[in-house]
């Protein structure tokens, strides 16, 4: 059985809230915050996945309390969950609204219904929990870390993603506005924007053998596709006191991909 390291305590006793904690970046962030002493609360619509996250963290000796199903686009469900956490502790120190559903399609094939689906599941799904957590973040002079994307700062000739491009640009903008409005209360807000990251989802589409982006590593300056831990390390940095004078910033975690001409 793995045990949590006691040598790391950047987040000892801090209340960390993560949506989308059943898998991917959300799960790994929950594991690593817990490993550094945080009291982690996670939600998801995936009941079985969230139970697995809770099991993994418990086996490693960390603190994690999950609630599922919670739809982060639903104001009532989300506010009830966050208010229960805030009322118990009197604060929320870190909010990572990582839940989201991405869908890619070219402009000519994107229906209005599809467009609205993506906006709901990539923009509303960030706004709803952040608004609900705001009073508790104010109480803590806490901080918010949002998940943007390289899609939010660059178009793509190989990946048709008009709605996703718009939403991720919006997420980056929201982080800046949260930073502006939160500064008076000591709230910091930043965004982390991954490039192509190897996950079960991307291996089934962007990195699949028949996708035009399958050889993208050849065109990334660092010559590799990113990992979930590459992204989570940036998230933990922003959430820590080490980033205490950083707010309103978007950090690209893409191996230099967005800094060069497209391959």
Q: Residue 248 pLDDT more than 60?
A: yes
Q: Residue 262 pLDDT more than 70?
A: no
Distance between CA atoms of 111 and 106, rounded to whole angstroms?
A: 10
In DSSP terms, which residues pair with 95 in a beta bridge?
17, 144
| Residue 3 located in a structural domain | no
Q: Residue 124 pLDDT more than 90?
A: yes
The stretch 129-151 carries a mean pLDDT of 97
| Residue 128 located in a structural domain | yes
In DSSP terms, which residues pair with 147 in a beta bridge?
192
| Residue 181: domain span | 15-256
| Residue 162 located in a structural domain | yes
Q: Give the tens place of pLDDT for each residue, 224-233.
A: 988 999 999 9
Phi, psi of 240 (to 5 degrees): -90, 170
| Residue 9 located in a structural domain | no
User: pLDDT-derived band of residue 7, with 50, 70 and 90 as boundaries?
Assistant: very low
Is the Cβ–Cβ distance between 131 and 72 less than 8 Å?
no
Q: Which pLDDT score, from 0 to 100, does residue 261 have?
A: 63
Counted domains in the chain: 1
Q: Which pLDDT score, from 0 to 100, does residue 217 have?
A: 80
Give 123's DSSP letter.
I
Tokens (6 digits) for 257: 């991909």
Phi, psi of 186 (to 5 degrees): 80, 10
Phi, psi of 81 (to 5 degrees): -65, -50
Contacts of 77 (CB under 8 A, 6+ apart): 70, 71
Q: Residue 5 pLDDT more than 80?
A: no
Supply the CATH number for residue 34's domain.
3.40.50.720
| Residue 101 located in a structural domain | yes
**Please, what's the b/e burial string for 98-111 (b: 16 or more CB within 10 A of its CB; e: otherwise)?**
bbbebebbeeeebe
Of 180, 183, 9, 30, which Cα lies nearest the Cα of 98? 30
Residue bearing tokens 């500064």:
183
Q: Give the tens place of pLDDT for each residue, 63-105.
A: 999 999 999 999 999 999 999 999 999 999 999 999 999 888 8
Q: How does DSSP assign 6-47, residue by residue?
A: SS--TTTT-EEEEESTTSHHHHHHHHHHHHTT-EEEEE-S-H
Q: Residue 216 pLDDT more than 90?
A: no
| Residue 198 located in a structural domain | yes
Question: Residue 26: CA atoms inside 13 Å, Cβ hemisphere, count?
Answer: 28
SS (H, E, C) 177-218: HHHHHHHHHCCEEEEEEECCECCHHHHHCCCCCCCCCCCHHH
User: pLDDT-derived band of residue 2, with 50, 70 and 90 as boundaries?
Assistant: very low
| Residue 7 located in a structural domain | no
Contacts of 131 (CB under 8 A, 6+ apart): none
**Please, what's the b/e burial string for 8-29 (b: 16 or more CB within 10 A of its CB; e: otherwise)?**
eebbeebbbbbbbbbbbbbbbb
């Amino acid at each position: 059985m793995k045990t949590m390291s006691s040598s790391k305590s950047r987040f000892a006793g801090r209340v960390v809230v993560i949506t989308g904690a059943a898998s991917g970046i959300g799960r790994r962030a929950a594991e690593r915050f817990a490993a550094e002493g945080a009291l982690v609360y996670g939600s998801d619509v995936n009941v079985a996945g969230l139970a697995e996250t809770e099991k993994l963290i418990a086996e490693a000796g960390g603190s994690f309390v999950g609630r599922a199903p919670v739809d982060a686009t639903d104001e009532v469900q989300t506010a009830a969950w966050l208010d229960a956490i805030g009322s118990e502790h009197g604060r929320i120190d870190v909010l990572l609204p990582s839940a989201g559903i991405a869908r890619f399609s070219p402009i000519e094939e994107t229906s209005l219904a599809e467009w609205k689906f993506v906006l709901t599941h990539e923009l509303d799904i960030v706004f709803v929990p952040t608004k609900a957590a705001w009073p508790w973040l104010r109480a803590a002079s806490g901080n918010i870390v949002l998940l943007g994307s390289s899609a939010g700062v660059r178009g793509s000739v190989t990946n048709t993603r008009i709605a996703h491009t718009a939403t991720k640009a919006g997420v980056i903008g929201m982080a800046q506005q949260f930073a502006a409005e939160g500064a008076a209360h000591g709230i910091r807000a930043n965004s982390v924007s991954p490039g192509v990251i190897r996950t079960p989802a991307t291996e089934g589409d962007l990195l699949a053998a028949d996708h035009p982006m399958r050889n993208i590593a050849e065109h990334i300056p660092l010559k590799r596709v990113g990992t979930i831990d590459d992204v989570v390390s940036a998230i933990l940095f922003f959430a820590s006191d080490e980033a205490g004078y950083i707010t309103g910033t978007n950090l690209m975690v893409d191996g230099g991909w967005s800094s060069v001409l497209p391959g």
